[in-house]
Amino acid sequence: MPEAVWTRWLLPQDNIKQTLRVRRFLVSVGVYCFCLLVVYLSCRMGLIRWEGFAGIVIITIAVNAVLFLCFRTGLNLKMHDPSLTSLQMYIGAVVTMYAACTSRTVPAV
């Protein structure tokens, strides 16, 4: 089955482990998109302020763009953990805390 042109651009072709890392990262981007949908619905219900939603969207896009560039350029291979698992977990925790701080029902931390 021939590969689509975009997969050659999106996924590294020369390193199988790096290709797997990028694929897993793209799965996490899908999870972020689902979470943004949940946050959007929370805004619609009045649980989170719209300013908080905008901040979460901007942070999410920026962080994922930087991480993708790290994976795609191979910068992650110079790190102790090439999968950047700990970094991604820390970023997810920070975004979650930011979401909690912008909530209307949870007191600010």
Question: Within 10 Å of residue 42's Cβ, how many Cβ atoms?
Answer: 19
Q: Is residue 69 part of a domain?
A: yes
Q: Is residue 108 part of a domain?
A: no
Written as one letter, the residue type at 72 is R
Percentage of the chain modeled with pLDDT above 70: 87
Written as one letter, the residue type at 31 is V
**Per the structure block, which two tokens stand in for 31?**
């999870």
Provide the domain count of the chain: 1
Q: Is residue 3 part of a domain?
A: no
**pLDDT, tens only, 51-82:** 999 999 999 999 999 999 999 899 999 999 99
User: What is the C-alpha separation between 82 and 74, in angstroms, rounded?
Assistant: 9
pTM of the predicted structure, to 2 decimals: 0.82
Q: Identify the domain containing residue 65 by its residue range.
A: 15-101
CB 53 within 8 A of CB 43: yes
Confidence of residue 24 (pLDDT cuts 50, 70, 90): very high
**pLDDT, tens only, 82-96:** 999 999 999 999 999
The pLDDT assigned to 106 comes to 54
Written as one letter, the residue type at 83 is S
Question: For the ranges 2-11, 23-32, 39-48, which has the lowest average pLDDT?
Answer: 2-11
How crowded is the C-beta side of 72, counted as CA atoms within 13 Å? 12
